[in-house]
Amino acid sequence: MIHIHCDKCERELAFDDSQAGEKVECPHCGDVNRLPAAPKPAAKANGNRSAVQDRATAQGLPPDSGPEVRVTVIRPSLIRSKPIVSALLALGPVAISITLLFVVSADRRPMWLMVWPPIAGWVVLGVWAIFVRLSACLIISNKRTVLRHGMLSRSTSEVLHDHVRNIEIDQSLTNRLCRVGTIGISSSGQDGIEVQIGRMPNPRRLREIIDLYRPL
């Protein structure tokens, strides 16, 4: 058995020898720890870990070794993912005011009728945009990638970087021009895509960050 102390809660943990060199989750606090490598392949494992650490730190990111550290948090970008629709929605309240200007006669046209529709429309759109933006996020640490959905109720799914099998990026022509797209991550332990989220800004950069923490 392999005995270690959790980097975060410092409780003693025990794992089977077959898990040597792998990243494991602490059952008490959820922190991800790396088990020491087996004696024989120690040089090779240490070399791979050092190479991963060098690749990450060379980009100014936290190293792969040590306690779990959050690297970045990314939220969906509504304007960049739908620029034309966003422009139309922004101009919609103004269009309503202009329509009222021609429909309502001048002698019956109160001033507030021209001012409040755009303000009310923009407030509603702003609240909706904030709600959509805050309802989902992608959290990348030096150990794993976590997808969170929901504000009141919440669901999460995650993939350890050591287990990432494939990272897919889906972009239309407009998405490529606006540098936004859908990113999907699948692991070697599951069939299909486990983590998928759309409207992500700079999805290729996100893939590069995750690749820096994947085993060589």
Q: Distance (Å, rounded) from C-alpha 174 to C-alpha 190?
A: 32
Q: For the chain, what are the domain ranges? A: 2-58, 70-216
Write the pLDDT tens digit of every residue in 102-137: 776 666 666 666 677 778 878 888 888 888 888 899
3-state SS class at 202 = coil
- 146 in helix, strand or coil? strand
CATH topology of domain 2-58: Rubrerythrin, domain 2 (2.20.28)
End-to-end CA distance of the chain: 26
pLDDT tens profile 44-100: 445 555 555 568 888 888 888 888 899 999 999 888 888 888 888 888 877 877 777
Question: Which two three-digit tokens encode residue 69?
Answer: 């550290």
Select the more confidently predicted residue: 143 or 116.
143
Report the C-alpha gap between 155 and 162 in whole angstroms: 22
Angle subtended by helix axes 83-103 and 112-134, to nearest 10: 160
- Class of the CATH domain delimited by 70-216: mainly beta
